[in-house]
Every structure is written in C-alpha cells, then in structure tokens.
C-alpha cells in the first residue's frame, strides 16, 4: 500500500481529498495544525504540527518517509491571504518540505496551485501552456514562484510532479462568508440580497469533485500544471438566481442595485483539455445540481443536524 503525506488535511478541500485517498486504498499520513473535528479513520494517521516549523517538518519526514506527497496547506484566510506576508513564509516552507520529501525517497508530488497565477483580463478560457502567468497578488506571485522552482528542480531530483491549479471550489465546510454559502444562508433567513449586474463569469467546481480530480491527477503519470475546474461558464447572476430559485426566494434577490466592483476580472474560466484528455477526469454532476446539494447541506448544518 502506497503511503501519502497530505498537508492541509483538515481544511475545506483537504478533508475531501483525504476521503478520496482512503477510498482508493492509500495509507495516508494527514497533517493539520491542530485538531478541528475531522475524525480519524481506517488508513489514516494524523499528525498535528505547524508546517512553518522547519524542525518539526524534518522530524516528521524522517519518521514517515512517504512515497507520495499532496501539498495543500497554505494561508487561506478569506480577505487576508491575497497580499499577506505569510505567503513568503509558505513559499519557503513548501520548498523545505519538497526538499525533505525528495531527500528521503519520495517519488510523486502534487501541489495545489491557483487560477490567481494567471494574468486576468481575457475572455478566453485560461490554458496551462498558452495563457500568460502574470499574477496581480502576492498570493498568486508566491504560488507561481513555487511552481516555477518545482518545474526546474523536480526532474533532476527524480520527482514526478504535477501542479493542480484550482479555480472556484465550493461545497460543504466552505467558509460561510464566501459567495455560495453567503447567498444560501442569507436567503434561508429571508433577508434581502442586493447585487450589482452579476455579469462576471466564473468556473465553479464542487469540492468533492475537485478532490476526486486531484487524486486522479496524483494517480496519473501526468506532469506539470493542470487546471482543476469544471469547464463550465456561469455568471454570478446565474449562480445566485439558481440558488434563489431552489430556495424559493427569488423575491429576495435584486440585481443592478449596486455598482459593479472595480478591478474584478470579467471572466475567470478554465480550459480543461489536460484534465479531461490526459488525466481522464471530468465532472459527472453539473455545478448547478451540486449547488442544490450544497443548499441542502447548509440547511442541515444551520438546523443543527450535520
């Protein structure tokens, strides 16, 4: 049984990746900063440590010596992480982690990237090899720098590597102030939502599908950057309207009431040819259906039944 070290295992995406890995028979060493309610399970060994502590990381790697690595952990505090100086700390810590992984016999590493690495402004879907990588945030710059270093380092280190570039992921356990849960919970309370035009286009993918896509990428021999997305284009207006219709709260939503946000990209869509054709993965359930499932999950949580 292959052992995999999974960082960020207690987070929004990580808990779903953990389930996907266990479901495929991996022995998982799951890293989280502290206990957070994500329970133990068969095939999972938990490690509580701060990945910014280089000494603790080296000790862990000496003990575990995993053959596989999926690195998700990073500063993801909503509204803070875009230009937080902690991005530099995470960049440095990630390089140490990768070096220790290689030194101790690791073979396959997949690291979480972000669509924030791309230059925004084009209406065309963003492509892993032809779209410009000119990020406009410290977060995007740091992620892109890690990918660039990894691409030069991994071949000589004997590491098979892939870079999972995530777009808009939503679903259970997402931070409540993000778009989808915020709309659901506000409408469930019967409150009014005033929006701008809602014309911005985004690519939404359910978190369990994103996790399955990531583990499929890990299982494959594909190397380099791969967009993890649905390939579907939805305007914010489409998403909000679909959620309101499912919750029978259309009268609570008003568009074109406030000005459009300045500086927001008109379109952030993914080209998913690599994910579909090389990895062999595509979403089997549409994003709108997944949003309805997410409505039901948030209802159950808010009513006290998880």
pLDDT (tens digit per residue) in 128-155: 999 999 999 999 999 999 999 999 999 9
- Tell me the H-state helices in the chain: 14-23, 54-64, 86-103, 138-157, 179-188, 207-219, 236-246, 273, 287-302
pLDDT tier at 301, thresholds 50, 70, 90: confident
Position 79 scores a pLDDT of: 83
Residues 6+ apart with CB under 8 A from 113: 143, 144, 146, 147, 163, 164, 165, 166, 225
Position 263 scores a pLDDT of: 84
Position 273 scores a pLDDT of: 98
Cα 275 to Cα 51, 166, 222, 229, 272, distances in angstroms: 29, 12, 9, 8, 5
Which of 61, 62, 21, 58 minimizes the C-alpha distance to 43? 21
Query: Is the pLDDT assigned to residue 272 strictly greater than 80?
Result: yes
Contact, 187 vs 252, CB < 8 A? Answer: yes
Calculate the CA 279 to chain-centre distance.
Answer: 17
- 179-188 helix and 287-302 helix, angle to the nearest 10 degrees: 50
Q: Is 248 left (phi over 0), alpha (psi -120 to 50) or beta?
A: left
- Give CA–CA dist 176/196, Å, rounded: 20
Query: Is the pLDDT assigned to residue 41 strictly greater than 60?
Result: yes
pLDDT tier at 43, thresholds 50, 70, 90: confident
Which of 35, 75, 17, 68 minimizes the C-alpha distance to 51? 75
Q: Do domains 3-168+204-228 and 171-203+232-269+286-302 have the same CATH topology?
A: no
- Give CA–CA dist 12/171, Å, rounded: 9
Query: Is the pLDDT assigned to residue 248 strictly greater than 60?
Result: yes
pTM of structure: 0.94
pLDDT tier at 174, thresholds 50, 70, 90: very high
% of the chain with per-residue pLDDT over 70: 96
Position 306 scores a pLDDT of: 44
HSE value, Cβ hemisphere, 13 Å, CA-based, for 26: 23
- Give CA–CA dist 215/107, Å, rounded: 15
- Give CA–CA dist 131/151, Å, rounded: 17
Q: What is the mean pLDDT of residues 16-37?
A: 91
- Give CA–CA dist 281/283, Å, rounded: 7
Query: Is the pLDDT assigned to residue 199 strictly greater than 90?
Result: yes
**Domain limits, the chain:** 3-168+204-228, 171-203+232-269+286-302
Please count the other Cβ atoms lying within 10 Å of the Cβ belonging to residue 231.
19
Position 122 scores a pLDDT of: 87
**CATH class, range 3-168+204-228:** alpha beta
Calculate the CA 250 to chain-centre distance.
Answer: 30
Position 39 scores a pLDDT of: 57
Collapsing DSSP to helix, strand or coil, 67 comes out as coil
Superfamily of domain 171-203+232-269+286-302: UDP-galactose 4-epimerase, domain 1 (3.90.25.10)
Q: What is the largest CA-CA distance in the chain?
A: 60
pLDDT (tens digit per residue) in 98-129: 999 999 999 999 999 999 999 998 899 999 99
Position 262 scores a pLDDT of: 87
- Average pLDDT of the residues of the chain: 94
% of the chain with per-residue pLDDT over 90: 90
């Amino acid at each position: 049984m292959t052992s995999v070290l999974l960082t960020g295992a207690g987070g929004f995406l990580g808990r779903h990746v953990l389930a996907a890995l266990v479901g495929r028979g991996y022995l998982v060493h799951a890293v989280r900063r502290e206990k957070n309610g994500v329970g133990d399970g068969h095939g999972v060994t938990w490690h509580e440590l701060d990945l910014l502590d280089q000494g603790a990381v080296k000790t862990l790697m000496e003990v575990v010596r995993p053959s596989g690595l999926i690195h998700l952990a990073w500063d993801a505090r909503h509204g803070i992480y875009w230009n937080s100086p902690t991005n530099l700390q995470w960049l440095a810590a990630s390089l140490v982690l990768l070096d220790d992984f290689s030194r101790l016999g690791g073979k396959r590493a997949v690291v979480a990237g972000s669509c924030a690495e791309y230059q925004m402004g084009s209406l065309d879907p963003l492509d892993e090899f032809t779209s410009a990588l000119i990020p406009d945030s410290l977060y995007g710059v740091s992620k892109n720098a890690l990918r660039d270093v990894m691409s030069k380092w991994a071949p000589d280190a004997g590491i098979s590597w892939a870079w999972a570039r995530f777009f808009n992921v939503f679903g259970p356990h997402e931070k409540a102030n993000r778009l989808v849960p915020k709309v659901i919970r506000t409408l469930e309370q019967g409150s009014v939502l005033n929006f701008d035009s809602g014309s911005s286009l985004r690519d939404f993918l359910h978190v369990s599908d994103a996790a399955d896509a990531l583990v499929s990428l890990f299982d494959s021999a594909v190397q380099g950057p791969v967009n993890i997305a649905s390939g579907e284009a939805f305007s914010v207006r489409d998403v909000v309207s679909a959620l309101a219709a499912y919750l029978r709260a259309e009268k609570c939503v008003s568009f074109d009431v406030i000005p459009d946000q300045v500086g927001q990209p008109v379109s952030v869509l993914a080209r998913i040819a690599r994910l579909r054709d090389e990895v062999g993965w595509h979403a089997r359930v549409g994003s709108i259906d997944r949003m309805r499932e997410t409505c039901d999950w948030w209802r159950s949580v808010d009513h006290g039944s998880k």
